[in-house]
Amino acid sequence: MRRETMGIILTNNDRIPPITDIRANSALPVAGRYRIIDFVLSNMANAGITNIGVATESNYSSLMDHIRSGSPWDLDRKNWGLNILPPSLEKMTYGAIKGNIDMLAGIQDFIQRSPQTYVILSLGNNIYNIDFEDVIEKHIESQADVTTIYTDMTGADERELSRFTMLELNDDKRVVDIEVQPYYPKTSTAGMDVYVMEKALLESIIDECSARGDSDFVKDALVKKIDGLHIYGYEFKGYTEKLDSLKAYYRANMDFLKKEVRDELFNPARPIYTKTKDQSPTKYGADADVKNSFVSDGCVIEGTVINSVLSRGVKVMKGAVVKNSIIMQDSVIEENVELSHVVFDKEVCVTKGRKLIGQESYPLCIAKGTQI
């Protein structure tokens, strides 16, 4: 069954300035050494999918450097494997790509050449660890045209639900209504931006939408055809987060500090793979104090780090205090600096004695290479 399925990952272009000014959202670091795309890519690889296309829109050099040939996911193969698909030349003009249908149309040759029968299409920047083999089996058993994965967010407030594509299902789990980021959502059933269907149906949707000038897969294909298509839901009951804002990005990284979240996302039965780097272990000084934190390889810790996520090569000097913060690669926190609720991009340097304080609901975000 797995050999009959291909994967397509569209690198969603939600803006989280300034940390997405130089990279695609999918290339954002999470949990120190991982990237957002690692989760869906690993989920597909763990399901035995060996033909995966990653379509990009802009700022894709960082993403291409990260995934390269696909070796960490065992996708560096002579036949198929991992395919990085930049936008076609005629679509590279700013504003030419109006939606994900345009991105899919730009990779139509790749889709048509692929011999698989089914396709898993990922449209968003979500993190989760899911058994895609079971999703595909349930899709085939239900004889659905499209299967969409969803999660029940009962108890979340309306502002939180308004970030998602909301689904209304009947007792048979058939989708009877779809609302895209509604201001007043009618249900608590949130789509996870993952869809399973036959490849032939996807090709038909791309052709029809392109011919009519439509640009959005959900609004222009699924919503308009909801009565004609058999769209069914597959409930995912585990941890998931949609990283479409700075607040969500910060919250997801802080969630990795919870043991129950780590145990689920880093399930040894379905490992999450990432690009590896040959770096020395982290060096802890005599006065270092580290509590409940993710610290990657190559760091130098001589100060205090509490409830924080540090990427590779970060330096925290003597007397510095880092709390509730996300510090990306090769940043330097000098002596007697105090940081709380901040998000630093790569290579940020905070000089001696400075104090930067954000809030949990509004973290202070600093761009790459800034010196303070």
H or E element: which one contains 108? helix 108-113
Please choose, from the candidates 96, 91, 87, 17, the residue with its C-alpha nearest in 3D space to the C-alpha of residue 56: 87
**Residues paired with 6 in a beta bridge:** 119
Which amino acid would we find at residue 54?
A: V
User: Hunting for tokens 């994967």 — which residue is that?
Assistant: 7
Return the pLDDT at 92.
Answer: 47
Q: Is the pTM of this model over 0.85?
A: yes
Q: For the ranges 55-59, 328-332, 354-358, which has the lowest average pLDDT? A: 55-59
Judged by DSSP in three states, 50 sits in: coil
| Closest among 312, 326, 325 to 276, alpha carbons compared | 312
Which DSSP string corresponds to 189-209? EEEEEEEEEEHHHHHHHHHHH
What per-residue confidence (pLDDT) applies to 1? 47
Share of the chain above pLDDT 90, in %: 81
The two structure tokens encoding residue 114: 């692929």
Distance CA 153, CA 173 (A): 16
Q: Report pLDDT digits (tens) over 221-246.
A: 999 999 999 999 999 999 999 999 99
User: How high is the pLDDT of residue 3?
Assistant: 63
Q: What average pLDDT does range 292-313 have in this prediction?
A: 96
- Do the beta carbons of residue 274 and residue 34 sit within 8 Å? yes
> What are the structural domains, with CATH classification, of the chain?
2-265 (3.90.550.10), 283-366 (2.160.10.10)
